[in-house]
Structure 1
Amino acid sequence: MITIRDIANQAGVSVSTASRALNDNPRISAATRRRIQSLAARLGYVPNYNAKSLTRGEANVVGVVFPPSQSSTQGNPFFIDAMRGINRVLTERQYVLSVAIGETSDDVLANVSAMVDQAKVKRFVLLYSHEDDPVADYLRLAGLRFVIVGQPSVSHDDDYVDNDNVAAGEAGATYLIDKLHANRPVFVSSAVDWPYEQNRRQGFKQIATKRGVPTVETQLPRADAPIASITEWLENHPNIDGILATDDLIGLSFYQRWQQVHPDAQVPLVSYNRSISLPLPNVNFHSIDLYPERLGAAAAELVFRKHSTEAGHENRIILPFEQLN
């Protein structure tokens, strides 16, 4: 393999001069840059992009930050699809991704700070948003470039890519009530109750109010919570005739528990992410595709743009979601 030292020796210059010439550094004359770049092309030199970027004080790496979780969040199909979109864009730019995960916010923060201090990572995509997030606070304070998949709190002007989750909640509720004829639907979210879940709940309640339909809400307990809590709730709500859940995994988990308590009751389920590829027997299941791969790709493109604080600028992107018919 041809190295930059080989090029420097053949060109009769120092390694630093060869490196600067290959990076189009204006401190090197245009004639010398052309000569060394031409020599590199003839020799078939392939740059080490990570080393090249380190001369700029930045690795050719984008950190992808998962929400803190004690469960296998990283196995959620939404995140896998989002990472697929991120990776496609990074590959085109000759970057790679590095993942930060942890059970707590402190664990994730330690992972991210190590990326910054030890690996010189200066660009990040956060796959979540919530109030007072120490990771986002750290990145803001350090002046590092980051983009959120999800809508940040109103107290910050972070750049983000998201769906309109209020509208998504309205769409799910409309389909459940108008098409699937639910008259006593339940809205099911996670125990964390992320901002996107709050927005979908808002849309759900707006449509239910317009239709004059009574609603109930519940949260799926954490994996380590006693199952008796949700079992008791299900026993106390036997008249539910429709489910709107904030994602497929939450919806199907809730439905399975519902069936255990009410084995003879068949209720329709509407959720989000289109992460179940095969039809489910004996389940009236409908999922709204949020196109996470597009969200990830848009976030990866955005992380290479400069941040702007102008209202309505293109660094805050709302992408469409699938409409059920």
Structure 2
Amino acid sequence: MVTIKDIAKLANVSHTTVSRALNDSPLIKPGTKKKIQEIAAQLNYTPNFNAKSLVMQKSYTIGLFFTSISNGTSPSFFADTVKGVNHVINEDYNLFVRGIDDYPTFSSIHHRRFDGIILMSQSEVDNSFIYHVLNQKIPLVVINREVSDQSIINILSNDREGSCQAVKYLIQKGHKDIAIIEGIKGFKSSLERREGYLKALIDEQIPIQSEYIVNGNYDMESGYKAMEKLLSLENPPTAVFSSNDDMAVGALNAVFAKGLTVPGDISVIGFDDIQIARYTNPSLTTVKKPIEKISRLGAEKILKAIESQEIKGEKIFVETELMIRKSVSTWK
């Protein structure tokens, strides 16, 4: 196996010069760089990333962290996030994916292990992780949840506005008895979507009914159980806003299990626009939260921060969009 030392001997330079030349360092003269790169090509040299890491003082690892992978992160949300990041990060980097709740302490998270970190933040419990990463001086991008620290690159969608738009669409369709299936308590997305639901009702002067606000857990089973609870009320709602699509799919099945129809007996609207939303029967009207786009932007920003070693805080909002399909009908 060809090593940097072999190339150094043939080029009559130090192995540090070879390493810098192969990494396109501006410190090496163009003529020397060209000579070294030609020798490496002739010898079919393949870089040893462990040695490269030592010379460049880089780990060639980017961390993608979730608040939790096992609790409250739906499979579609997880897949879209990883897909968006992976689309941007090239083969020069390893992608390390974990949940923050897997760590009893953060001592293993340091700048020698990670060149940069993307945090898919779902809860304020992440704040201790954020400040640990900042103290370690690891470039950081926080996506999905708004953070107050102006020095952080923060990319998110306006969940409150998207939810408000969805509920106002139901109101325009003649619905007044509108329920919400909430997401996990403590998750920022749950709070924002609840606030959007309440704002729509207040704006349109529709009374808020506490029995129409039911808990979910961002999974299909909790959506099913929440819809069962709503259908058992003395005065069931005519429409339900589900805080994510997975729960909406569960809710659809609970309606069918009761021998009722969507949207004939009850309208259902979701949030996220996961891939399956187009293929449910009926197809699901939902708010498109561009998770893959947000994740892709996050990856682009972290690569720039790593390359420049300059981290300039900014806040980027990616718009949501109401995707009108067939699970909502006009209430007579």
Residues 1-325 of structure 1 aligned to structure 2 (within 5 Å): 2-25=2-25, 28-29=28-29, 31-49=31-49, 51-71=51-71, 73=73, 76-91=75-90, 94-101=92-99, 105=101, 107-108=102-103, 110=105, 113-114=107-108, 116=110, 120-133=113-126, 134-154=128-148, 157-179=151-173, 181-215=174-208, 216-221=212-217, 235-236=232-233, 238-257=235-254, 260=257, 262-264=258-260, 266-275=265-274, 276=276, 279-281=279-281, 283=282, 285-304=284-303, 305=305, 306-309=310-313, 315-325=314-324
CA contact (8 A) 2:249 2:280 kept: no
Number of residue equivalences: 309
**C-alpha displacement at 1:321, in angstroms?**
2.4
**C-alpha displacement at 1:72, in angstroms?**
7.6
CA contact (8 A) 1:189 1:250 kept: no
**C-alpha displacement at 1:155, in angstroms?**
5.4
Partners of 2:272 and 2:218 in 1: CA distance: 20
Paired AA for residue 93 in structure 2:
Y
Alpha-carbon spacing, 1:167–1:72, altered in 2? closer, same or farther (3 Å): closer
Query: Match of 1:114, SS?
Result: coil
Paired AA for residue 117 in structure 2:
F
**C-alpha displacement at 1:221, in angstroms?**
4.9
CA contact (8 A) 1:129 1:148 kept: no
**C-alpha displacement at 1:12, in angstroms?**
2.8
Partners of 2:292 and 2:197 in 1: CA distance: 25
**C-alpha displacement at 1:212, in angstroms?**
2.2
* 1:241-271 CA-partner distances (Å, limit 9, x unpaired): 11111211122234444555x5436311111
Paired AA for residue 97 in structure 2:
V
Alpha-carbon spacing, 1:130–1:296, altered in 2? closer, same or farther (3 Å): same
CA contact (8 A) 2:178 2:241 kept: yes
Partners of 2:180 and 2:323 in 1: CA distance: 18
Partners of 1:48 and 1:267 in 2: CA distance: 61
**C-alpha displacement at 1:195, in angstroms?**
1.2
Alpha-carbon spacing, 1:269–1:279, altered in 2? closer, same or farther (3 Å): same
Alpha-carbon spacing, 1:139–1:252, altered in 2? closer, same or farther (3 Å): same
Residue aligning to 1:312: none
Partners of 1:182 and 1:60 in 2: CA distance: 54
Gaps of 5+ in 1: 310-314
* 1:212-256 CA-partner distances (Å, limit 9, x unpaired): 22343221158899x989865653364211111121112223444
**C-alpha displacement at 1:113, in angstroms?**
4.6
CA contact (8 A) 1:148 1:158 kept: yes
**C-alpha displacement at 1:127, in angstroms?**
1.3
Alpha-carbon spacing, 1:77–1:50, altered in 2? closer, same or farther (3 Å): farther
Paired AA for residue 37 in structure 1:
Q
Residue aligning to 2:330: none
**C-alpha displacement at 1:289, in angstroms?**
2.0
Partners of 2:288 and 2:50 in 1: CA distance: 36
Query: Match of 2:89, SS?
Result: helix
Paired AA for residue 20 in structure 1:
R
CA contact (8 A) 1:221 1:230 kept: no
TM superposition score normalised by structure 1: 0.81
**C-alpha displacement at 1:30, in angstroms?**
5.0
CA contact (8 A) 1:245 1:270 kept: yes
My pick for the range that moved more, 204-213 or 150-159, is: 150-159
* 1:99-134 CA-partner distances (Å, limit 9, x unpaired): 1136xx3x2465x653537x7213111112422423
